[in-house]
Amino acid sequence: MNKAILSVVLGAALLATGCSNFKSDTESTRDLNDPSVSGRTLAEQVCAICHGVDGNSKNPVFPRLAGQQPAYLTEQLKAFRSHDRSDVLGYKYMWGIARNLTNKQIDELAQYYKGQTAIPGQAKETALVAQGDAIFHHGVEATSVPACASCHGPQGHGHDGFPRLASQHEDYILKQLSVFKHTNDRYAGMGAMMSPVAYNLSGPQARAVAAYLSAQR
């Protein structure tokens, strides 16, 4: 008898909750195929799992998005959606997430992350950071590497389609430089500009720049 009651109660509860949720609960849904869901809800319910609610991810596999330039983020999400960006981790994690995002949702996501405050990492090696500082602001004349600051801004905050790099994970910056250097996976859009820059940057120089940027606010 108890089991019968338990069955009925559970069944009724499941049905009740199910019926009430057949239309998207736009405040807490994780539905990636519903254009009525806001970018904020998607950021909190889906993106936050890897990128953090405030866009400050912990795992360097996933970039920090807090304070990111909206134009850059919009271009990247659209590139994932169209498969124009195909670096290994990008396609493994982001193609599926972005496949049904609407332009409106993408714009809202970009604005959400622009509104978050970036938390910088801690600088580890002073000499390395100083070297990175010099490369970032003055480039490497011997190999014709331009100053990163000329496009990404003197503080690495970026502007328009040029991404914010300050506070970004060191490892993430290194991997993306490697993608630009060795592949065409991010060649679409403004990414094409980075290939010659990354090509002329040596491994130690890339590590220095990444170490410097990750510690900037």
Partner 1 sequence: MNVLTFKKKFNLLHKVELMAVPMWRTVARKVTWQGVSIGLLTTVSAVASMDAAALPLFARQTGQNCQACHAGGKFPELTPYGRMFKLTGYTLGKRQLIPIAATLSFSSTSAPSASGAPGGAQNGGTGTQANGTPTFDKASLFAGGKLTDSIGAMAQYTFNNYSGSDDNHQAGRIYSNNADIRYAKHIINDQMDLVWGIDVNNNPGFEDVWNSSGVYGYGVVPGAVGTGSAVLPMLLSQQLGQSVVGAGAYAYWNKTLYVDLAGYRTGDGVFSFMTHNYNGQQTYIQGTNPYVRVALTHDWGASNAMIGYTYLDANVYESGAPMSGGGNYGNVGGPVDEHRDNMVDFQYQYLSDPHVVTVEMEDANEQVLYGGGGATDTSNAFQAKASYTFEAHYGTALSYFNVTNSSNNVTATNPGGTLSNGAGAFQTADLGSEGWTPEIFFMPVRNVRIGLQYTLFSRDNGTTLNASQNDTTFLYAWTAF
Q: How far is the CB of 111 from partner 1 (least distance, A)?
A: 18
> CB–CB of 132/86 below 8 Å?
no
Mapping DSSP to helix (H, G, I), strand (E, B) and coil, where does residue 94 land? helix
Question: Smallest distance from the beta carbon of 171 to partner 1, in angstroms?
Answer: 7
- Phi/psi region, residue 38 (left: phi>0; alpha: psi -120 to 50; beta: rest), is beta
CA distances from 37 to 30, 45, 115 (A): 9, 11, 19
Please tell me the count of residues contacting partner 1 according to CB under 8 A.
52
Distance separating alpha carbons of residues 120 and 113, to the nearest angstrom: 15
Q: Does 5 bind partner 1 (CB under 8 A)?
A: no
Residues 105-164 that bind partner 1 (CB under 8 A): none
CB of 1 vs partner 1, minimal distance in Å: 9
- DSSP secondary structure, 131-187, as one string: HHHHHHHH-BGGGTBPPTHHHH-TTS--BTTBPP-TT--HHHHHHHHHHHHH-STT-
- Among 38, 48, 78, 123, interactor with partner 1 by CB under 8 A: 48
Under the binding rule (CB under 8 A), the answer on residue 93 touching partner 1 is yes
Per-residue mark of binding to partner 1, 50-89 (x: CB under 8 A): x--x----xxxx------------------------x-xx
* Cα-based distances in Å from 32 to 17, 25, 54, 97, 112: 20, 12, 20, 7, 17
Task: Please answer whether residues 211 and 132 qualify as being in contact, where contact means their C-beta atoms are separated by less than 8 angstroms.
Answer: yes
- Region 7-36 residues binding partner 1, contact defined as CB under 8 A: 7, 10-11, 13-14, 17-18, 21-22, 24-25, 28-33
192 touches partner 1 by CB under 8 A: no
DSSP annotation of 168: -
Closer by beta carbon to partner 1, 129 or else 174: 174
Q: Which of 84, 137, 185, 200 binds partner 1 (CB under 8 A)?
A: 185
The residues binding partner 1 (CB under 8 A) are 3-4, 6-7, 10-11, 13-14, 17-18, 21-22, 24-25, 28-33, 44-46, 48-50, 53, 58-61, 86, 88-89, 91-93, 95-97, 99-100, 171, 174-175, 178-179, 181-183, 185, 203
